Amino acid sequence: ESRLPGFATHQIGVAGAVVDESNGKVLVVQDRNKTMNAWKFPGGLSDLAENIGTTAVREVFEETGVRSEFRSLLSIRQQHDHPGAFGMSDMYIICRLSPLTYDINFCTQECLRCEWLQLTDLAKTEHTTPITARVAQLLLHGLESGFHNIDLSMEVIPAVYSGKFYQLYHRQLPSTLKS
């Protein structure tokens, strides 16, 4: 990668798809301030220097009251001229999370509704966004055939020059190939 001075061009939004594997349900919300009441995964913007998984877990808790843990990265959307991004671009990342608690206590300032919805229903309802429906299909495929088929797993790796650490996401390699 280039070491030429650059400048920040993207805001990072992260959503968390909290999947209850015991019953095939996923945690979804409807925003209070939208023209269309569409089910989507809870999420929001990353704070400065916040890791992707940390944003997902934090935003899910703030919006829904449900505690969860990071499992994988599922999907990335890049969008330019994003409304509300002041000419900057937007990277929207959806993570897979596992629930640690199940009781909903949602933020009424941000959300109109919050429910554990069947993934099969979310995949086919019209009351959602195309990206949410697509990720619901991905998650169904993962539930049926194994989440390794849809996940980008995360690893913490030491940086070469700085002595710091970074988070690397990619498809899991078969264990026989990993060095």
User: Known catalytic residues?
Assistant: 62
141 binds a second copy (CB under 8 A): yes
| Contact status: 19 vs a second copy (CB under 8 A) | no
Residue 102 or residue 112: which is nearer to a second copy going by CB? Answer: 112
Q: How many CB atoms lie within 10 A of CB 128?
A: 24
Least Cβ distance, residue 22 to a second copy (angstroms): 22
Residue 6 makes contact with a second copy by CB under 8 A: yes
Contact 44, 12 (CB under 8 A): no
Q: Where are the alpha helices (DSSP H) in 65-169?
A: 119-124, 130-145
By CB under 8 A, tell whether 125 contacts a second copy: no
Distance CA(38)–CA(30), nearest Å, equals 6
Decide if residue 37 touches a second copy (CB under 8 A): no
| Residue 163 sits in the site that holds a second copy (CB under 8 A) | no
84: burial class by Cβ within 10 Å (0-12, 13-18, 19+)?
exposed
Taking CB under 8 A as the binding criterion, the range among 21-29, 39-47, 96-104, 112-120 that sits at the site for a second copy is 39-47
Confirm if 56 and 65 have CB atoms less than 8 A apart: no
Span of 17-25, 37-45, 96-104, 114-122 interacting with a second copy by CB under 8 A? 37-45
